Structure 1
């Protein structure tokens, strides 16, 4: 069973729309062949209108159109359900406005997903209403498997689990795994180096000294410094930890992990896990934070993210992480990255 979502490519979307227009095109041909009398024109216009109404209703409630079915595509909302009437109407209006420039306008709108810098192949009209167009022949159909996060699309083998990590041309996928949380893969299966059993070095500058808890319960001042790469390499094999995300997902790890929408290690950076966390609000960067175990402690590093990362204590007090500086995560505290949050158990 497919576990990842695959965004439709530009040529698929164009072909689907062309197939959608076959019936109206036939109506125009019939009118031309029969001489175009008033009765014939009105009949053809009425049938064409009923056809487009039916197509819009079908897409709103099922994500499908005649062209989508033929090509193997589906249109879904931001949570993986049917797009709804409002979204479908706005998308149709956008195409109508683009048709002011015949052929070229609609074509540019349909292939605008080629310039999606978020790597999700969404067109301008998709971003306007928050929809996705997915290839359900190459990937999972969220309408039949419990939405974007799925309800039963769990990997059944190591090879299938490896496919969840973005690598090569898979970096264009939504790459949302089954279950309700992030896709996780050992880095070695995604084409990167697997760390040795000993914890990998903390690949960031050594932070300034850190003290014990302040009045707010967060570290500051003169406590244990971050381990150097040599110290980290010499440390004993760390105990396994569990990342518990705000949606209830639990991910086991024992080494170094990168978390983000589409995390990628830097050149020569050794990590053990890529945790691909879906965030449709776009508050989480592609590679947002690094979490690592060294000398029995958990260290978190913000990767110069746009919206920042914060240590949150049990009273809700937040302390920002300095970009590229690993910080010790005190017991009982959590990490907020963008609009999402996780704790370490």
Structure 2
């Protein structure tokens, strides 16, 4: 419950010590500041000045006539029949009524609001020293009567007015303040005690138990010092936020973060490891310094060994020494050395264009001819990779184990909508609690040598992992994924398999 919703019927007095006396430290903790004596004296002078101002008509029109009567310069009969007698009586009555009204208003406002004309102009307020609330009319009246009664002694008022200077509590309270249990506070530099909401907040703040502070989180900002290492960095990001946390590694080997099996084949001196269920489309060995300079390499491993799935023989025949060279061929030719025989890459290439091979046989069915018209183009048949010449149907095996057959256009996402380029596409929902998969993420459809993949402008992108190398797709740009390749769909994955 908010601290300003505390009921007003809670009359428990706070801020008293064990002896029931007001604790000055509690009031100071709330933000109450004692009234400075110069402004307190100025406020009293202002209140007295307004009272004396109401007596000016009496002094001008009534008092001179009364002084003549008291000096026996005129008799009672002369006083009554004096030409200014009626005016003097009226002025006397008006001054008396105005002075009485002024004193009553000042008394009521002082008791209920802690304010008088002088205190309002000097920024002071009177409160009950124990409850820190309004002092009450009765206590203000008692304070005034004691101050007036001190006038019976010649120096009584002077002693009372100077008593705030010797207050042992250092709160500026005089003897007349102690009788009325009043305390004058400064609202210009301290808390306004008659602001109920702020007063309740201050009380709750002082009496509330301290709350344990949570530990500060490390900053995600880039260090100012370029050589400094970041103390905290996210391991992955999606549209919903940070998925994981990666701490800075030590002096040992770097931890492997990301998809397993996606290491590039050129990150090492050996061939890429074979992944079960995925053909090895090509491998090469990093050339040595001697080979790069043109010298022949020693040992039987000077030529890269190439392996791949069985496929139709290339029309060019077996690779010859003058065939395509490895990665260091350009450097060797530049130095004038004879090019070393390079690897022969076999298998299904990673592109939309088919490899060189025998042209497909023309359709044996005769085509109808129309006079005066050109022959209509005959659509080519899809590749027949399956036994018996039937077209191979590929599918996507999701990381959840579900098999999605791709016999036609399929649109994939959390709640996919077929694009305008393929309105007939079949919808395939892909649940994702992390929301890394977009609503309409990608479109896949059969292609002559695999599956054509088109990213539909997804938030976290689509990539094809081929032979350990990951390729990010541009939105709207088609790319072909062969059997054995893996698709990264946001944070989900799918493998292209034969149906």
Short-chain TM bin: 0.3 to 0.5
RCO higher in structure (CA 8 A, sep ≥6): 1
Q: Report the TM-score when normalising by structure 1.
A: 0.42
Q: Report the TM-score when normalising by structure 2.
A: 0.30
